[in-house]
């Protein structure tokens, strides 16, 4: 096992997701902090799964608390980690090796701080391969505890779950090598930039900001975000006023 891995940083970032995977990642982080005897982050993933199995069984037969997720969700969770590993490695290879200053901040150094290590770019594919090898074993360990499943998709370097019109789920953008994963991520990045340009660019140069703004393809999402922030501001303001009254009293 290499001394350097992208998995811990991947887990940290996934823990910020407001999704099922985010909940699982936070559960793993909590287990890690509470159980220093757990050997590695890979062991922590397996332990979190096993505890979820026990909680799920207790919930089903004894009415105990519901688990953080269905145990089967850990299979997709490991794939999410591997996807993030490839994404981090891509960012590491593309941006970290040159100075990238923006607003006076060296973002290349920021990534180094996140990862906790710095290696020669030529070694990055080797690190990804090692992360994949170990995560593959973790994925296989979890799958072994589910003999009731007859069709389990193996771990890939990259794969995404996509819901079809008939409500069935399939895996797309599958890559079975780091090199192929990079090509998928590059394509997705280019597609996103093109979509963003279609939404935002071309409007600002000729828009009449002194008049009534017309709708843009992004206007509904923007209005929703602004409404959410307005509610949060009002709530925070009310809390501050209440706190001030208590202090005054």
- Look at residue 201 and tell me if it is in a domain: no
77 pLDDT more than 80: yes
The domain total for the chain is 2
**Residues 238 and 128 grouped into a single domain:** no
**What 3-state class would DSSP assign to 168?**
coil
Each residue's pLDDT tens digit, 9-54: 999 999 999 999 999 999 999 999 999 999 999 999 999 999 999 9
pLDDT tens, residue by residue, 136-149: 999 999 999 998 88
Q: Are residue 152 and residue 220 in the same domain, yes or no?
A: no
Residues 17 and 121 in one domain: yes
Same domain for 149 and 220, yes or no, is no
- Asked if residue 20 is part of any domain, the answer here is yes
Residues 6+ apart with CB under 8 A from 15: 22, 25, 26, 29
Residue numbers of the domain that contains 53:
7-156
Whether residue 134 has pLDDT greater than 80: yes
Q: What is the pLDDT of residues 54-73, one digit of tens each?
A: 999 999 999 999 999 999 99
Rounded Cα distance between 58 and 171, Å, is 32
The helix or strand, by DSSP H or E, that contains position 174, with its residue range, turns out to be: strand 169-175
Asked if the structure places residue 203 within a domain, the reply is: no
State the residue for tokens 């303001």.
237
Residue 68 CA to residue 23 CA, distance in Å, equals: 7
Q: Does 79 map to a domain?
A: yes
- Of 141, 156, 171, which one is at a domain's C-terminal end? 156
**Is 42 within the bounds of a domain?**
yes
């Amino acid at each position: 096992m290499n001394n350097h891995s992208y998995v811990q940083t991947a887990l940290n970032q996934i823990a910020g997701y407001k999704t099922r995977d985010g909940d699982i990642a936070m559960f793993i982080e909590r287990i890690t902090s509470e159980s220093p005897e757990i050997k590695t982050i890979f062991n922590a993933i397996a332990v979190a799964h096993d505890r979820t199995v026990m909680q799920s069984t207790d919930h089903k037969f004894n009415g105990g608390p519901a688990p953080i997720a269905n145990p089967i969700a850990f299979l997709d969770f490991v794939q999410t980690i591997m996807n993030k590993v490839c994404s981090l490695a891509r960012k590491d290879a593309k941006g970290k090796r040159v100075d990238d200053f923006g607003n006076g901040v060296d973002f290349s150094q920021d990534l180094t701080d996140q990862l906790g290590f710095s290696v020669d770019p030529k070694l990055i594919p080797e690190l990804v391969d090692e992360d994949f090898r170990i995560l593959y074993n973790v994925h296989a360990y979890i799958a072994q505890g589910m003999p009731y499943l007859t069709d389990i998709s193996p771990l890939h370097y990259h794969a995404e779950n996509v819901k079809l019109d008939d409500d069935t789920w399939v895996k797309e953008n599958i890559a079975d090598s780091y090199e192929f994963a990079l090509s998928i991520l590059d394509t997705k990045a280019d597609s996103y930039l093109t979509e963003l340009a279609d939404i935002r660019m071309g409007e600002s140069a000729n828009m009449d900001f002194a008049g009534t703004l017309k709708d843009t393809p992004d206007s509904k999402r923007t209005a929703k975000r602004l409404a959410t922030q307005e509610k949060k501001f009002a709530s925070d303001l009310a809390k501050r006023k209440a706190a001030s009254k208590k202090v005054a009293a």
